[in-house]
Chains A and B, each alone.
Chain A
Amino acid sequence: LALYFHIGEREEKCIIEDIPSDTLVVGNYKVQRWDIHIRDFLESAPGLGMFVTVSSPSGEVLLSKLYGPQAMFSFTSYHTGEHIICFQSNSTRIAVIAGSKLRIHLDIRVGEHFLDESVIQAKDKVNEINVRLEHLIEQIHHVTKEQDYEREREEKFRKTSEETNSNILWWAIAQTLILISVGIWQIKSLRDFFIAKKLV
C-alpha cells in the first residue's frame, strides 16, 4: 500500500475505472487521520471508517459499505463502462478543525493480478507451472475482454463522428435554404410594400 494522497475529513474522493463486464476489481486501502497534537498522521484512529461506494455506468450502486480504517473491498462489474469508486470517511465532526485531513493509501487492481494467493497452494514443480499457466490464461482472457470492449467503444466513436458529419451537411443545406427563401421573401415583401406606398 505505497501510494497515498490527502483529502479533507468530510470530502469525497472518487476514482474512475473504465472496465469491461465480468471483471473483478479488488481494492486495498488504509486511512489515517492527522492529529493536531503530535502533528503527524496517527497510525490508527479508533472509530475511523470509510464509506466505499461503487457505482456502475448506468448509475446503479454495486457496492455501498462502511469499512474500517484498513480494509479490502472487491466487486465484479456486470456492465461495461465507467465505474466510479468513491471514498468518504464516516467522520461526523461538524466543526472541521483547521489543518485536519486524512491520508488514504490506495491500491486498486483490475482483472488479473491474483498471483500471490494461488501460488501458496503450489506444492511441487508441476503444480507451479500449472498455476502459472492458469494465470497466463486469465491474463489472455482479460486482454480479449478489453479488446471486445474496445471494439464497442470504437463503434460508438465512429457513430458520433458520422453523426457530426451528417449534422454539418444537413445544417449547411438547411441554412442555405433558409437564406434563399428569406431573401426571396424580403424582396417580395419590400416590393409589395413600396408598390402599396406608391413609391415605385
Chain B
Amino acid sequence: MLLRGYGTAGPWGWLTLLLVACTAWASEITFELPDNAKQCFYEEIVRGTKCTLEFQVITGGHYDVDCRLEGPDGAVLYKEMKKQYDSFTFTASRNGTYKFCFSNEFSTFTHKTVYFDFQVGDDPPLFPRENRATALTQMESACVSIHEALKSVIDYQTHFRLREAQGRSRAEDLNTRVAYWSIGEAIILLVVSIGQVFLLKSFFSDKRTTTTRVAS
C-alpha cells in the first residue's frame, strides 16, 4: 500500500523490500556456560546463504570449549574439541534449522564465559540498487566506503576487546594464585622449621628417661 502511494516508489519501496528480503542477520552474545553444561543455539537459514560462526572463550579454566555445528539433517559441519578461539565460514546447502552447541562437559568445576558471533548472509547494501535510476553519487559512494571501514573497525575492536578480556582474566588468576601460594609456602616453612626443632628436642628428652630406666 505504501508502495503505490509514491510514483517512483522512493524510500518506502526499498525499505519494504529490505524488510521482506531480510536474510541478513548478525547475532553476538556473551553468556556464561556452567561446568558440565551444554548450550545450543538454533537458526533457520535459507539455502545458499553464506554464514560465519566465530567464538571465543573469555574467562574460565584453560579458556577452551567444545563447539559443534550441525545442519538441518544432523550432518556435522564443524566439530572442534577444547578450542579457545575459532572462526568458521560455510554456505548453507539446504534450507532448515542449523544448530550450534557449546559444551563445557569436560570441565568439572570451572565455568566459562563464551562469546560468539553468528553472521547470516551479507549486510544489506546501504543504497540498494533495485529502485535506482542512476549510479551512486560521490557522496553516496563515500558514505558506503566509510560505512564499510567503520564496520571493520568495530569488528577489530571487538576482537581486541575479547583478547584483552581474556588476558586480563589470566592476569587476575595469576595474581590470586601467586598470593595464595606465597602465603601458604611461608606458613608451611615456619610450621615445618619450628616443628623440626621441637621434634628433635623431644627425641633427646625421651632417650634421657629411657637410659636412666635401663641403668637402674
Contact = CB atoms under 8 A, between A and B. Distances in A.
Interface of A: 2-6, 13-18, 106-108, 116, 119-120, 122-123, 128-129, 132-133, 136, 139-140, 142-143, 146-147, 150, 153-154, 156-157, 160-161, 163-164, 167-168, 171-172, 174-175, 178-179, 182-183, 185-186, 189-190, 193-194, 197, 199
Contact of A123 (B11, B113, B168): B11
A143 B149 CA distance: 12
A179 B189 contact: yes
B208 interface: yes
Contacts, number: 143
Interface stretch (B63-71, B75-83, B84-92, B173-181): B173-181
Contact of B194 (A150, A174, A182, A199): A182
Contact of B186 (A15, A133, A140, A178): A178
Nearest to B144: A132
B216 interface: no
Contacts of B139: 129
A82 B135 CA distance: 44
Contacts of A123: 10-11
Contacts of A190: 197, 200-201
Nearest to B204: A197
B93 interface: no
Interface of B: 10-12, 15, 18-19, 25, 27, 29-32, 39-44, 113, 118, 120, 126, 139-140, 143, 146-147, 150, 153-154, 157, 160-161, 164-165, 167-168, 171-172, 174-175, 178-179, 182-183, 185-186, 189-190, 193-194, 196-197, 200-201, 204, 208
Contacts of A146: 154, 157, 161
A164 B174 contact: yes
B204 A3 contact: no
Contacts of A156: 168
The DSSP consensus for interface residues of chain A is: helix
B182 A150 contact: no
B30 A199 contact: no
Contacts of B168: 153, 156-157, 160
A130 to B, nearest CB: 10
Contact of A132 (B43, B113, B143): B143
B32 A16 contact: yes
A178 B190 contact: yes
Contacts of A175: 182, 185-186, 189
Contact of A2 (B10, B32, B43, B189): B43
Contacts of B25: 2-3
Contacts of B193: 182-183, 185-186
Given A2-B44, A16-B30, A167-B179, 15 more contacts: A3-B25, A4-B41, A5-B39, A14-B32, A120-B12, A123-B10, A129-B143, A140-B150, A143-B153, A150-B161, A160-B168, A174-B182, A178-B186, A189-B197, A193-B201
Nearest to A136: B146
